[in-house]
Amino acid sequence: GAVVSQHPSWVICKSGTSVKIECRSLDFQATTMFWYRQFPKQSLMLMATSNEGSKATYEQGVEKDKFLINHASLTLSTLTVTSAHPEDSSFYICSARDRDRVANYGYTFGSGTRLTVV
Amino acid sequence: KNQVEQSPQSLIILEGKNCTLQCNYTVSPFSNLRWYKQDTGRGPVSLTIMTFSENTKSNGRYTATLDADTKQSSLHITASQLSDSASYICVVSARSGYSTLTFGKGTMLLVSP
């Protein structure tokens, strides 16, 4: 089945530093990847949608200069949290849409990254 | 506004018992409905995906139902196991685009020995 690998699974960083989170589709090509943020006991909130080779589309209220998204290949998308602050601490999850399973509504989620900014 | 409401918010059951989780939605135009299981600190894992024409779909001990007329879905778990303890999330997709997923807040299930 489709597998999405997200790395790292957890990270602690100091305020003001940047953190990069990787999302890889291991056995399929993902033309579209999504980045979500999840606070405790809350549902996933879509941050941005990235299409391979083009700029990401950010949801309203999400700062594109703070959350840099790069989708340089069909199997890799990265989210960089720049100049991190404690309020950026959250659970970040990516998902990828299988290009070849579009008709079957193929979405697969990564395992998530717990970011703690101290 | 597209919305997905889940109930109950949380549930505790004894190991071996059955339970049913509810999902009501107001997403339009409807494309499909998915149930995911999310373990604490992990990403969601798909359990079932149902389209407009499907009423029931099973995946092992999980059985999902869909009533597109009343815009309701349920997830029934039989013979619960301790490993079923997780958050169960109902996600509804609108037909207008692949990115228009509406997430419910989830039902937190705790299976007690």
Give the gap in angstroms from C-alpha A43 to the nearest C-alpha of chain B.
4
Which pLDDT band, with edges at 50, 70 and 90, does B101 fall under? Answer: confident
Kindly list the residues from chain A whose CB atom is less than 8 angstroms away from the CB atom of residue B45: 109
What's the pLDDT at A102?
56
Q: What is the pLDDT of residue B96?
A: 61
Mutate to test the interface with A, among B4, B101, B107 (most CBs of A within 10 A): B101
Name the residue facing B41 among A95, A104, A114 (closest C-beta). Answer: A114
Per-chain mean pLDDT for chain B: 92
One digit per residue, the tens of pLDDT, for chain A of length 118 reads 678 999 999 999 999 999 999 999 998 888 889 999 999 888 899 999 998 888 899 999 999 999 999 988 889 999 999 999 999 999 999 999 876 665 456 688 999 999 999 9
Q: What is the pLDDT of residue B43?
A: 93
- Residue of chain B with shortest Cα separation from A43: B105
Provide the pLDDT for residue B65: 97
Per-residue model confidence (pLDDT) at position A99: 67
Residues B105, A32: C-beta atoms closer than 8 Å? no
The Cα–Cα gap between A113 and A92 comes to: 5
Q: What is the average per-residue pLDDT within B17-31?
A: 94
CB A86 within 8 A of CB A19: no
B97 — pLDDT class (breaks 50, 70, 90): low
Mean pLDDT across B102-111: 94
Q: Which of A:78-97 have CB within 8 Å of B? A: 91, 93, 95, 97
Mean pLDDT of B77-106: 88
Do the Cβ atoms of A114 and B49 come within 8 Å? no
Chain B neighbors of A57, CB-CB under 8 A: 99
SS3 string, chain A, reads: CCCEEEECCEEEECCCCCEEEEEEECCCCEEEEEEEEECCCCCCEEEEEEECCCCCEECCCCCCCCEEEEEEECCEEEEEECCCCHHHCEEEEEEEEEHHHHHHCCEEECCCEEEEEC
B43 contacts A109? CB cut-off 8 A: yes
Amino acid at A15: S
